[in-house]
Structure 1
């Protein structure tokens, strides 16, 4: 068959990879046969050591605890089915397509590795990385002998090593019936980077591929070892992997978040990404983008509160509103799964409502209170701003937090309890919808790109029947508008208050 340009490019890339491995995998340390054998036995037991010994040219830092944890899970369970939902840049593919398959093979737990991706070429590119290591890695050759041998398959997308490892690449949906070499059938299937934007936008295709995994791919494995390993970060609400996860709740979802968004602590891989790295990423990309890419908290377009309802304008002067106030939706915990502390500053002028400023963060109560103190200090003397919160939240913890901040600044702010009886939260938030539909809610153009505003907006978009997202920003919005409607003084056409000093006409 005549080679295409794509074939030639792939071969060129493979040869360059082999040459790079030859140059970077050399081991100049002398070892006696006994020392070498001891090292091999240790590598079989300890994957962290195995990565150091054979793949230090790839791994430029210490392995993360989460990576080692998943590898051990896979090895312990001969019928493992699970997902490496790791953030972008956390070496999902390297671990799941090179390190773990190689580790299982040297432990005698895999002989036929099937690599799957969204196309044959994508799968073959992944498999070629493992093939190149087996061909050119000097450390592997010294410990296990040459793996490329004359007379055995050694081509793009298909190889058989001297030690008996078979590697095949397949695109999603390709025929898998009859996949065997002699008496060997696949015993490890790895699905990597399957979800393209094209697939993600087509639920019917997602369901079709999920069914292919269940009814075609998994049944090709018939022996003692029948493992399915899936590497893909969760960047959308609905993916092929989430379809499978819902249908198979016992399959392992190894979901890793890069950092705690509230504190930038609890780092998943501090050996590679220190706290300063995440601080810079958040500054460059914004909170929502980082949450989606690195903490895998995707957000989809709203079904009720849609983009066409959101109106941005330059706001009136801060001292020109008929009424202005802040509303705080309190959260006690700063854990990454906890609610946010949401403080929203709303003003009303005429029949319109203006979102002036936002604070929506997973943080300690003291952080929210301090923000209120600092914001109120920026206002001119002609503006009197009170902050309201639900009375049910006042307790010793909140009182102590308030006193801490008050003592720090040596003054008070008007913090007022909202004692109204509230109905179901979803129904209350839906009362905002008519205001949006009538164009009476206006957002501050100057705040459009701020993280706090975007987080609150994302929460609002997520409000729909049965929603599971955080709702702290919208809840604070509803509280603020309810309060504005209760205290608002209407004006006549000359912008004069009609309350007070008005004599009712006497009529008979």
Structure 2
């Protein structure tokens, strides 16, 4: 035996020992007590999981975990996709559900498929280890190890539940458990980055699932189809399965209020630290189910020194409020963020000076006008505008104006915010048409002194990942487009029209007198 094999056996035994030690059984319980407790636990699946798997369920479940457990267990014929972010325990919860269904004999034949058979075997290992070493399972359901039918890739318990690991592309034939066809089909970690870069591979893997694996199920008996995986590409097996599913559960590391979806495990401080060490692209793909690629529209994204504010004829603070009080995700698909930005123009160059992109209240939104106004001070006149189409106007009148009046009183600063009622065209088209030429010609300058400031950094991200499908938020750059339009309209108003005297035109027209 090679040293690697010895090490693997040692690690396996240590793993099983840790399970054994974490699942001690109360020795004072009689068989009748155990049976009574078992019936109670089976009627309460979440408590059942906590009791039988304390080593894994060491953090309190989040509400989305509980909903998923009850939803899947409560539907014998079901097709679900769990697109939960990394660190939200989708594979572990999947194991809890499958162990409950098989040990309670609601399901009898499990096929676990992954991108390779080695990965499928790795994912199946915790099932096998718990069936071998979990004292509570043995006490409540009997010894499960069935010698002679017990390998890393395929085993059948003494109670008759079959488990089999398959890699994409392998033949699923022979997956019957006596007369029982697979009644649980699990696809876990099925997509890979490499496969998603090749449309042919995605098509091949999906066809294998649809044409080879899925039809092994029975038509007449209820079957659970369960996918576990993040959305790592716009077209991948997870997204295709999601379109077919009875329920597609998409949960990110943070919710629509910007808070941890599982605070019992993932604190805000730790999430901030993890995200700070990877690129925005990696953050979106791994933790927010939003695969983005660098856009091809704003290629320059120039940072430069802002001229002295005294050199500007005027500045504009422009705000895009969104109608709701929601502190949620960006407009593209997931709610909206608010934005307030200070901009100015000199010699056809638009300078993005300072601003805010945030998930905050309407009071916060109005307050940022005062913050920017104070920051400018007496160095330059400032106009204040707010996006305000016909649908937004009631909100402006009933919500923002009272906030504005309150801030005037508390700050002693008399600011007037003018509604921008110009009708808007398609958001993506408007942004590209009005801002891309300026970026291409180097006439769109972001304040280099603010480059590391989080709001300016996020605005740069919006430019970097902008595409016409708005797969990444574009609230900040939409605000910049509004400021640019107001500035140019204001400059036209302030530029006197040139009147050519009629006398000077006579030489061009012999009939003019």
User: Structure 2-normalised TM-score?
Assistant: 0.85
Question: Hey, what's the Cα distance between the residues in 1 that align with 2:195 and 2:268?
Answer: 35
The aligned counterpart of 2:370 is 373
The aligned counterpart of 1:329 is 320
Question: Hey, what's the Cα distance between the residues in 2 that align with 1:9 and 1:251?
Answer: 43
Q: Structure 1 pair 27/90, CA: closer, same or farther in 2 (3 Å)?
A: same
The answer to whether the Cα contact below 8 Å between 1:87 and 1:296 also exists between their aligned partners in 2 is: yes
The aligned counterpart of 1:442 is 445
Offset at residue 485 of structure 1 (A)? 2.1
Matched, 1:453 2:456: yes
> Where in structure 2 are the equivalents of 1:35-54 lying within 5 Å?
35-54=33-52
Q: Structure 1 pair 162/445, CA: closer, same or farther in 2 (3 Å)?
A: farther
The answer to whether the Cα contact below 8 Å between 2:193 and 2:232 also exists between their aligned partners in 1 is: no
Offset at residue 481 of structure 1 (A)? 1.2
1:264-295 Cα shifts (integer Å, max 9, x gaps): 3xx53343345565566667779886665444
The aligned counterpart of 1:220 is 216
The answer to whether the Cα contact below 8 Å between 1:286 and 1:451 also exists between their aligned partners in 2 is: no
Q: Structure 1 pair 237/357, CA: closer, same or farther in 2 (3 Å)?
A: farther
Aligned to 1:163, what secondary structure does the other structure show? Answer: coil
Question: Hey, what's the Cα distance between the residues in 2 that align with 1:447 and 1:297?
Answer: 27
> Where in structure 2 are the equivalents of 1:99-498 lying within 5 Å?
99-150=96-147, 152-222=148-218, 224-246=221-243, 248=244, 250-262=245-257, 264=259, 268-273=261-266, 293-303=286-296, 305-306=297-298, 308-335=299-326, 336=328, 337-392=334-389, 393=393, 394-431=396-433, 432-460=435-463, 464-465=467-468, 467=470, 470-488=473-491
Aligned to 2:376, what secondary structure does the other structure show? Answer: coil
1:47-94 Cα shifts (integer Å, max 9, x gaps): 211122111122112222222221222222222111112222111111
Question: Hey, what's the Cα distance between the residues in 2 that align with 1:469 and 1:446?
Answer: 25
Question: Hey, what's the Cα distance between the residues in 2 that align with 1:407 and 1:194?
Answer: 59
1:393-437 Cα shifts (integer Å, max 9, x gaps): 432111122223333323233422324344443432232221122
Question: Hey, what's the Cα distance between the residues in 1 that align with 2:282 and 2:354?
Answer: 21
The answer to whether the Cα contact below 8 Å between 1:25 and 1:55 also exists between their aligned partners in 2 is: yes
Question: Hey, what's the Cα distance between the residues in 1 that align with 2:448 and 2:269?
Answer: 30
The answer to whether the Cα contact below 8 Å between 1:42 and 1:49 also exists between their aligned partners in 2 is: no
5+ residue gaps in structure 1? 491-496
The answer to whether the Cα contact below 8 Å between 1:186 and 1:220 also exists between their aligned partners in 2 is: yes
Offset at residue 327 of structure 1 (A)? 1.3
Mean CA deviation greater in 408-417 or 281-290: 281-290
Question: Hey, what's the Cα distance between the residues in 2 that align with 1:357 and 1:291?
Answer: 25
Aligned to 1:407, what secondary structure does the other structure show? Answer: helix
The answer to whether the Cα contact below 8 Å between 1:115 and 1:190 also exists between their aligned partners in 2 is: yes
Offset at residue 125 of structure 1 (A)? 0.7
Question: Hey, what's the Cα distance between the residues in 2 that align with 1:6 and 1:73?
Answer: 42
Count the aligned residue pairs.
491
User: Structure 1-normalised TM-score?
Assistant: 0.86
Q: Structure 1 pair 274/461, CA: closer, same or farther in 2 (3 Å)?
A: closer
Q: Structure 1 pair 400/244, CA: closer, same or farther in 2 (3 Å)?
A: same
Question: Hey, what's the Cα distance between the residues in 1 that align with 2:55 and 2:234?
Answer: 36
* RMSD of aligned Cα (Å): 3.3
Q: Structure 1 pair 276/16, CA: closer, same or farther in 2 (3 Å)?
A: same
Question: Hey, what's the Cα distance between the residues in 1 that align with 2:217 and 2:418?
Answer: 65
